[in-house]
Amino acid sequence: MKRLTMGNEAVALGALKAGMTFFAAYPITPASEIMHILAEKEGEIEFVHAEDEIASIHLVIGASLAGSKALTSTSGPGMSLKQEGIGLAHMMEAPLVVVNVMRVGPSTGMPTLPAQGDILQAKHGSHGDYSPLVFYPCSVAECYRYTMEAFNAAEESRSPVILLLDGFLAHLSETVDLSKIKVEPKLRTFKPLGHGNRHFTGLLEKGGIPRTKDTAYYREWYQRITDKMQKTANNYRFFEYLENKTADTLLIAFGITARVIRPLKHRYSLFCPIRLFPVLEEELKAAAAEHERIVVVEMSDGQYQGEVERVLKRDVLSVPILGGGISLKEIEEKLHAL
């Protein structure tokens, strides 16, 4: 049935559909609606309004190890607090999903105008090397679908998967028929706590024994983790490419920005990555090969442009839309001025 649905609502419904049974979070605009909707499901799912963001991510890690599919949601300031737990979940290989509805920062910034400034934080937020899976939908229907895909990717990779939204998309209401979107949920690949003598730790360990002075083993372990993430990522090649044969310029945009620039498809080719990390290297290279100029339009000061430049190894232009306001007119003017 078609129904007017908000982005945040679609995330909550997608999580329930994916089999999520544990949710913990701390209220923060513009992510709170996810919490409100799931609070009504208390009883069917375990719901915790935690004391802070740090507690909520660790609650979710505990629940994940105990066998639940678990979710937490937040916005920029909360995401900064969650980084400790995200690193721990990578180290413990605990599958879970973290939703970050981006708003203007740093710090409290401009509550709660939308932004896309947490792109590199999603990749590098916690200390140390790791390569997370990051998805960023660009419509309400996609919020629903990619929440389910995020849960699947989490199970497959045994890692915390980050689902990015922006304040616009989270509060965008669209008429959609969610019942037509079907994603087969993936099952847990390891036994929950209480089924052996395993030791889950934030330390580098092998067979439950810390190997904190073993450089060779760290390198072996890191290679395994990186390969695992890339292997999983290969099954989640999500993007949208609107090729315009007459265009000499390729515009790259994601989230609400991709929606705003859609009317420009008659003049430019448009590439909308949904899996932001690991970067869709092959797809981007193939699309870029056909074009003279590559421009990334984003609501940050060139965070993803740098990533694209690194992958393509050629000059990539940036159109930053800062401070929470976005309009097609402004983007067109900036594109002309390039």
Binding site for other proteins (CB under 8 A): 21-22, 24, 46, 48, 50-52, 54-56, 58-68, 70, 84-85, 88, 92, 192-203, 208-210
Whole-number Å distance between alpha carbons of 32 and 135: 20
C-beta of residue 158 within 8 angstroms of C-beta of residue 261: no
Compute the least distance from the CB of residue 50 to other proteins, in Å: 7
Q: φ, ψ for residue 203 (rounded to 5)?
A: -80, 160
Instruction: Name the phi and psi angles at 4, rounded to 5.
Output: -75, 120
* Identity of the amino acid at 3: R
Nearest-approach distance from CB 73 to other proteins, in angstroms? 16
Per-residue tokens: 315:
């000059």
Distance in angstroms (rounded) separating the CA atoms of residues 27 and 20: 19
Tell me the CA end-to-end span of the chain in Å, nearest whole number. 45
Nearest to other proteins of 37, 57 (CB atom):
57
Give me the residue label for tokens 């290679």.
223
Nearer to other proteins, 117 or 132 (CB): 132
**8 Å CB contact between 176 and 140:** yes
Q: Rank residues 1 and 209 by Cβ distance to other proteins and give the closer one.
A: 209
Closer CB to other proteins, residue 46 or residue 309?
46
Here the tokens at position 263 are 């009317």
133: which DSSP letter?
A: -
Q: Which residue's CB is nearer to other proteins, number 107 or number 212?
A: 212
Strand bridging mode 160-166 / 134-135 = parallel
- For residues 204-243, one letter each, b for 16 or more C-beta atoms within 10 angstroms of the residue's C-beta and e for the rest, the string is ebeeeeeeeeeeeeeeebeeebeebbeebbeebebbeeee
Partnered with residue 293 across adjacent β-strands are 249
- Closest approach of Cβ 322 to other proteins, in Å? 34
Q: How far apart are CA 115 and CA 166, in angstroms?
A: 6
Among residues 75 and 126, whose Cβ is nearest to other proteins?
126
CA distance 21 to 156: 18
Q: Which residues pair with 155 in a beta bridge?
A: none
Distance in Å, CB of 151 to other proteins, minimum:
15
Please check whether residue 24 is in contact with residue 1, taking contact to mean a CB–CB distance below 8 angstroms.
Answer: no
Nearest-angstrom CA–CA distance, 266 and 64 = 46
